Structure 1
Amino acid sequence: MNDPRDTQGSDAPSGGTPGAPVRSGIPEHGRIPKYYAVKTQLESLLDELGEGGALPTERDLAARFGVARETVRQAVRELLIQGRVRRKGRGTVAAGPKLEQPLSLVSYTEGVRRQGKVPGRSLIGLDRVPAGAQLAEQLDIGANDPVWHLERVLLADDERVGLESTYVSVDRFPYLERDFDPDSSFYAFLRDQLGVRFAAAEERIETVLATPREALLIGTPPALPMLLLNRVSRDTDGRPVERVRSLYRGDRFSFTTHLTGA
């Protein structure tokens, strides 16, 4: 049953500059839901705690803020989605800043290393499968031609942060199963061992929810928003090299790019 204390909003000072955006999510009438007021106070507490600092229990927070535990729970859920906190064992701790992955022709490994994190991958499977019509068109091969499907969990400092599926032509890379170390960078393997140079890519980004299987592999709740990247990369001759489907945790990743005028 909902606590009657949480049926009303909280007053907030008006303030703000005329014509400015809505102030930090606070409506113009100055009344905000109780959970949002708690969330704002928790954000200040997280700044004090620093990365890895443990939040008090729901019971203690409810007593501190004078609200029901469900109100605290809702505030913490939003902070989880935003990546401000993460679960650790049976508790909740302050999370570090999101990982910034550049939207460019660099590997996941390079992007994570630039931020002082240790990249890693955990192999789910490396299998030969028929291409099918859509994948065949993307890789410029026959629909019945075989492709390698390389599926790996992405890690940053041993934390599971994503899931990556890579498809390449078996005819072009016949010895992938024998020669490639699945714990290493696929881009580095293609570049250093096979002399493949990437020149261009088409990439699409969207927000999705993980399937139950994906959520289990990444170790997240199914309701956590994900960032999905679909990419087809080409070499310097314009030939398709790979088709990659990368699923990143929305609470742990952001993407950056550099834009210039025409």
Structure 2
Amino acid sequence: MALYHELLNALKKEVTKMDVGAKLPSERQLCLDHDVSRTTVRSAIAELEKSGYVERLQGKGTFVSRPPKRQNLSNYYSFTDQTRSLGKTPKTIILDFNITNKPAYINKNLGIENTESFIAFTRLRLADDEKMLLETTYVPYEGFEELTRDLLNTYPLYNIFENYYDLKIYKVKEDFSVDKVNKDQAEKLGIKPDTPVLKIKRTSYDKKSRIIEFTVSYARADIFNYETIYYPN
């Protein structure tokens, strides 16, 4: 599965840089270029076709379609990585950053005592300068004292976890629901108040099952979709 995902992301990057109507290399050539099996290539091409990136014409080959306007929230992990995989330029604007211990329910979501402090920051996420996500992230202060606004302005959060704290995300729990944004949130996202959005609550754990991040995001429903793929027994 790792080779499949690597190939899929690589092909997405390549396709988004090609002109609409351009022909993709043959399956055999893709196998040689990426050192993968034909089965892996066919699976990746089928997923690209399903997502609207390419169109297969019998007897002629596979051609680039217009890129999809909506981004997939399935297996959503890093906005920066996912946006780059689509051939777009990610941008993050930090709107707020502070250290506090209120509201108390955040402590519960972080698995820390009510008296303990946490770092809270709100970010606006953009792709090719289009407003996509408004998210507020909470991180325990203890153990992450060096996490600053300047550092977040320089590196993605998950890169900071890995490179500064030698931590990797081991498990992610996400909850999706439909919500409406208030006037302030709508203004930041560039949409009308009470517009329906996808609300995502994400809790990230390290390998010791410690919560190292709790994030609440509001994703524009006109841009994002959520897809589930499963294999019945």
Compute the TM-score of the two structures, normalised by the length of structure 1: 0.59
Q: CA deviation at 1:178?
A: 6.3
Deviations 1:202-238 (A, max 9, x none): 2110111101110011111113210000011100111
Q: Which residue of 2 aligns with 1:103?
A: 75
User: Hey, what's the Cα distance between the residues in 2 that align with 1:224 and 1:242?
Assistant: 27
Contact persistence 1:166–1:242 (CA under 8 A):
yes
Q: Deviation at 1:150?
A: 1.2
Q: Deviations over 1:137-179 (max 9, x none)?
A: 2212110211110111010101111101000011120011166
In the alignment, what sits opposite 1:182? 153
**Matched ranges for 1:1-262 at <5 A:** 97-104=69-76, 106-177=77-148, 180-182=151-153, 184-261=155-232
Q: Distance in 2 between matches of 1:187 and 1:201?
A: 12
Task: Sort the Cα spacing of 1:183 and 1:250 in 2 relative to 1 into closer, same or farther, 3 A.
Answer: farther
Question: C-alpha displacement at 1:259, in angstroms?
Answer: 2.4
1:199 shift after superposition:
1.0
Task: Return the letter of the residue paired with 1:248.
Answer: A
- Look up the SS of the partner of 2:209 in the other structure: coil
Sequence identity percentage? 24
- In the alignment, the residues of structure 2 paired with residue 257 and residue 196 of structure 1 have an alpha-carbon distance, to the nearest angstrom, of 28
Letter in 2 for 1:98: R
C-alpha distance 191-179 of structure 1, shift in aligned 2 (>3 A): farther
SS state at 1:236 partner: coil
RMSD (Å), alpha carbons: 2.1
Counterpart residue type for residue 97 of structure 1: K
Alpha-carbon distance between aligned partners in 2 of 1:184 and 1:175, rounded to the nearest angstrom: 13
Amino acid of the structure 1 residue aligned with 2:112: I
Q: What residue is the counterpart of 1:60 in the other structure?
A: none
Deviates more, 1:180-189 or 1:195-204: 180-189
Q: Secondary structure at the match of 1:181?
A: helix
Unaligned runs of at least 5 residues, structure 2: 1-19, 21-66
Amino acid at match of 2:191: T
Are the structure 2 counterparts of residues 179 and 122 from structure 1 closer, same or farther at C-alpha, using a change threshold of 3 Å?
Answer: closer
The count of residues paired between Structure 1 and Structure 2 equals 168
Where 1:152 maps in the other structure, the secondary structure is strand
**Residue 175 of structure 1 aligns to a residue in which SS?**
coil
Kindly tell me: are residues 205 and 178 of structure 1, through their superposed partners in 2, closer, same or farther at Cα, counting changes over 3 Å?
Answer: closer
Larger radius of gyration: 1
Q: Which moved more, 1:117-126 or 1:184-193?
A: 184-193
Q: 1:178 to 1:113 in 2, by over 3 A?
A: closer
* Cα distance in 2 between the residues matched to 1:230 and 1:208: 12
In structure 1, how many angstroms separate the alpha carbons of the residues matched to 2:68 and 2:172? 31
User: Structure 2 length as normaliser, TM-score?
Assistant: 0.66
User: What whole-Å deviation, never above 9, does each CA across 1:7-28 have from its counterpart, x for those lacking one?
Assistant: xxxxxxxxxxxxxxxxxxxxxx
Q: Is the 8 A contact 2:96 2:122 kept in 1?
A: yes
Measured after TM superposition, the shift of residue 256 of structure 1 is 3.3
Corresponding residue for 2:27? none
Q: Matched residue of 2:152: which SS?
A: coil
Classify 1:183/1:101 alpha carbon distance in 2 versus 1 (closer, same or farther; 3 Å).
farther
